[in-house]
Amino acid sequence: MKALTTVALMVVAIVLLAPEALAGQPPTPTMQYVDIDTVVLIYSKFYYTETIRMDFSAAEIQACKDAAEAAQLLMWRGSHFEANLNILEFVEPDRALYENQVFRHGNGSYMLYHWSLDGEHSVESDLIDAGYADGDITITVSLWAWNTGANGARYAGECYPGTKTNPAYPHLLGDSAHVTIPVTSGQHTQNLWGIIMHETSHAIDSKLKYSGYPDAMISPDRPNQFDRWMDGGTSFLYENLDAVLWSEWSGMYSWLATVQTVDDTDEDGVPDNANVPLNEVSFGSDKR
């Protein structure tokens, strides 16, 4: 009787703990990718003077968000579904930028630094006000309104690596890289997504180097050093992301990239329904 009771308990345990094994069904296949947590700041007002100023409309703010999401999708595809620029939030600080809050380079152009230049406001304080703390963000992307009437306006971007091994710049919430891109009128419908993708590739490159993989990517500024043929700048960015090995993506320091394990029923390397820019369900190819 005791032996029968033991067998009955074992059967109950199998039913409760492993119903797929009891039914003879194998577990659902899975795949892995990394999330690179990113916050996009949109500064919709820049006042150079009372008469030279830029105010984004609601449509222009939305265009900035669309461009960031397009860059996210292209980077997800370029990495062959191994790295997701995980946009946590679009933050719209309720303040205008003034000339004394941006840095003027020797060539007359301006850049939005993440530390305070006026002793009061900064990108970091805006992130803290939004609820973020040290270690929460791997990449911060600042898209800020820019008026071409201001001296030295330029169509460009810049990335500050944000690593403890680079003491040249003050840290931004620990190790967050800062991508800063001035956005002028009309740029929203051009290739803002391409500039975001380019500058964010610099940020990813810095994080891979910081994690011990100095040769994982070629600098986005040096496509001539890449050993594969490309037919354009976007093609190079795709190839550059694709060149990163899974061991390098997953080997990034854990506070810079989070490895996610998700269902991949047909084992084609595309997740079934994960929180990523493109999956089987959103693409309409779910085979479950």
Answer whether residue 14 is part of any domain. Answer: no
Average confidence score pLDDT of the chain: 81
> Concatenated DSSP letters for 84-109?
EEEEEEEE--SS-EEGGGSEEPTTS-
Domain encompassing residue 66: 32-283
Answer whether residue 13 is part of any domain. Answer: no
The domain tally of the chain equals 1
Answer whether residue 288 is part of any domain. Answer: no
C-alpha pair distances (Å), 97 with each of 78, 89, 113, 176:
34, 21, 11, 21
81 pLDDT above the threshold of 60: yes
Q: Model confidence at 161, in pLDDT bands (50, 70, 90)?
A: low
Answer whether residue 117 is part of any domain. Answer: yes
Tabulate helix, strand, coil % of the chain (nearest 5). 35, 20, 45
Summarised one tens digit per residue, pLDDT across range 220-233 is 888 888 887 777 77
Q: Model confidence at 200, in pLDDT bands (50, 70, 90)?
A: very high
In 3D, which of 65, 61, 102 has the Cα closest to residue 193?
A: 65
Residue-level pLDDT at 187: 56
- Identify whether the C-beta of residue 231 lies closer than 8 Å to the C-beta of residue 240: no
Rg of the chain in Å (alpha carbons): 23
Q: Model confidence at 108, in pLDDT bands (50, 70, 90)?
A: low
- Identify whether the C-beta of residue 224 lies closer than 8 Å to the C-beta of residue 178: no
Answer whether residue 15 is part of any domain. Answer: no
CATH number at residue 71: 3.40.390
Tokens for 90, please give them.
């679009």
Identify the helix (H) or strand (E) that includes residue 42.
strand 30-43
Burial 22-48 (b: 16+ CB within 10 A, else e): eeeeeeeeebebbbbbbbbbbbbbbbb
Answer whether residue 151 is part of any domain. Answer: yes
8 pLDDT above the threshold of 70: no
d(CA 53, CA 60): 15
Tokens for 89, please give them.
């939030």
Q: Model confidence at 155, in pLDDT bands (50, 70, 90)?
A: very low
Q: What is the DSSP letter of 284?
A: T
Answer whether residue 120 is part of any domain. Answer: yes
Residue-level pLDDT at 92: 97
Residue-level pLDDT at 89: 97
Q: What is the DSSP letter of 6?
A: H
Q: What is the pTM of this model?
A: 0.84
Return all residues near 158 (Cβ < 8 A) that are at least 6 apart: 111, 179, 180, 181, 199
Answer whether residue 243 is part of any domain. Answer: yes
